[in-house]
Structure 1
Amino acid sequence: MDTLRALVLRPAVVAGLALLFEFNNWRYVMKKRSSRLIAVLCAGVLVMVLSPSAFAQGVGAPVGATYITQTPNDHLSSNQSLSPLATGLLKNTTGTGVLTIATPGVDYVSAAQLQALINTVNALQGMVTTLQGQVATLQSQQATTNNTINSLLSQLATAQTNITTIQNSPAQALNECVSVSHDTLNGLIGPHVLFTGCNVHVRSGSGRTEDEIFTVGQPRGLGNLIVGYNEVVDELITIDLQPGDRGGSHNIVLGPLHRFRGIAGLVAGLANNNFGVHSSITGGKFNTVRSGFDSISGGSFNETSGLFTSISGGANNRATSTGAHVSGGSENTASANMASVSGGSQNTASGATSSVSGGSQNTASRFASSVSGGNGNTASGENASVSGGVQNSALVLNSSISGGNGNRA
């Protein structure tokens, strides 16, 4: 209702002020009569401002309203008389100055028009609220889209960097000699990685095969080729690995449970230990190489500990000095330089270049001494020999016994 009053009163006040301005210009002509009319109009405007409800209702003056008093005057025409204008809002006709009743909806906004405008404003406000919500949703979606785009741009930049790195990588050269086949090849199912027309190098990165073993004292533990898993536990066997037990470099490892501390070696079979440099164990189980340039070809529980020593097979054999060799048998020992035991059991070649060819519990203990066979025979003189028999002894230089039992020479 206050809004309606404001809309109604605003044109009325403007009209009254316009009349006031116009009559003010005539005051020199009309003098007293015009002054009286100006006073009446001002009073009417004041009443409309102070009590607009009376005119808005369009009926007789309300109780408690302020009235405009009309003083009879012969000089006023009937058109300007206020009596016919007792109800309604006054209207000043421009150009004539005649006061008439204003028409709702024509001269000012009617209540119905105002309500229609209010309804329109409310509808527009609802639409604005809806649009604001939609804009907020679109802004959120736009922010999400921007974040997604930024993430994709970052991923694209990373991918481009990776592509450049790959293109500049030495791995690109592998295309010249490396290929992959998923077919069966020579009876072996695929997939296969084929190296064709090139050499394959496996390196520790130290710049030399022996790494820093002669300066630092231990290899890097890299550059090894492991064929299989080299398990620590295999069925009923478990090995207790110590630090460095698998710290060698440039070794080829075949099979499980192996230890390899050395350099440029080969270890195959089961649970063998290659602790030497340039040494190999090519088969068997529980064999151990402890020195450089040694080899054990097979057997079990055999051990070499001298340079250039070798054991071909058998069990529990020992080659402990430079160039010593045991071909086979069991519990045989070649403990002098270039000494050898060819076979048998519990035989010992302990003199340099001495040899025991076979038999059991035979001993060749001096330089170039030999026992060919038999049991319990001893060649303890230089160049002495016992060919066979039992409990025979060749004790002096160049002595020999061909056979028999308990002979001495």
Structure 2
Amino acid sequence: MLPRTLFTADHDEFRKNVRRFLDEECVPHHARWEEQQHIDRSLWNRAGALGFLCLTIPEEYGGMGGDRLYSAVLMEEQMYTGVTGPGFAVHSDIVANYLLNFGTEAQKREWLPKMASGEAVGAVAMTEPGTGSDLQAIKTRAQLDGDEYVINGSKIFITNGYLSDIVVVAARTGDSGSGAKDISLILVENGRAGFTKGAPLKKVGMKAQDTCELFFENVRVPRSNVLGGAEGEGRGFIMLMKELAWERLIIAILSIASAQAALDLTVEYTRGRKVFGKAVAEYQNSRFKLAEMKAQIAVGQVFVDRCLEQVLKGQLTPEAAAVAKLFTSDLVCSVVDECVQLHGGYGYMLEYPIARAFIDNRASRIYGGTNEIMKELIARTM
């Protein structure tokens, strides 16, 4: 197979540290987190103390100042170990990036060091009941009243929402008649009057990941909470679009790593499981299925790595990100389905990691924009 040439010795050493952290401090607790439907709040503090949060944020704001390959390493290792609960990517690579790229200096200095240390957990609230992938149709409104915005509305499927301390909320602040021009991103702190959180949502999979609804009833925030200050008013949709390519590549990174993890589990299982006197892996059907999956994953990994190269150069296009997200999220679902089949009845038992992978990865074709939306975006470039 083609060797991966992206990572340096520093990335490899970081990978070892991440794996140790996940194996020792996450894997043993994951079943309990699935029962309570969110990770322990203390894990955020621990991850921050070890330097695993806000990896690409400059040191002056408390981050590590690394490139996005460090983020990719963390994401991959989470999938290789089956640790789907911690929403580190949303916190560090989405919310923190919004602040770094669009926030005022005061906003950056207020929140980024807290996010890097784990003192503050970040979430982004875009999706609403009834809007799905159509961000221009959001109805949450922020009405200017003197020097404050008054926010009313609700959001759904919010990762890190239940434990969040700071939420980037997409809200309509204007009445221009153009959905895109009316949207602003507003920072809402936990504890503000009228800001409430629903219980963690009962999902089919990814049960350890903190996901909930957020409700805003006459929530007052200072005008200075608009991301980017006065210049950020009405520019929220542009900000969202600028970050979406990276967000979709995150899903591709997670998906291809999950596919590899599922294949590794299945190779090990089929070698040890005997049927009619010989290992499942010795049957031609099994060998061919495993070979097909290995080839497909190898091709997908090369494309994802190529996209990562473009990220490092600041050249990743929305089209390439959409292709990566579409291909890898479809692929991981087909791979885990085949892997469950090769496990037989045990593949349907939740005590086996492949069963959890089966239900955890299905959402990858939905969030970040459904795969139908990805096809539409790709088709527009043809």
Task: Please give the range of the TM-score, normalised by the shorter of the 2 chains.
Answer: under 0.3
Pick 1 or 2: higher relative contact order, CA cutoff 8 A, min separation 6: 2
Specify which structure has the higher proportion of helix.
2
Question: TM-score of the superposition, structure 1-length normalised?
Answer: 0.17
Report which of the two structures shows the higher radius of gyration computed on alpha carbons: 1
Question: TM-score of the superposition, structure 2-length normalised?
Answer: 0.18
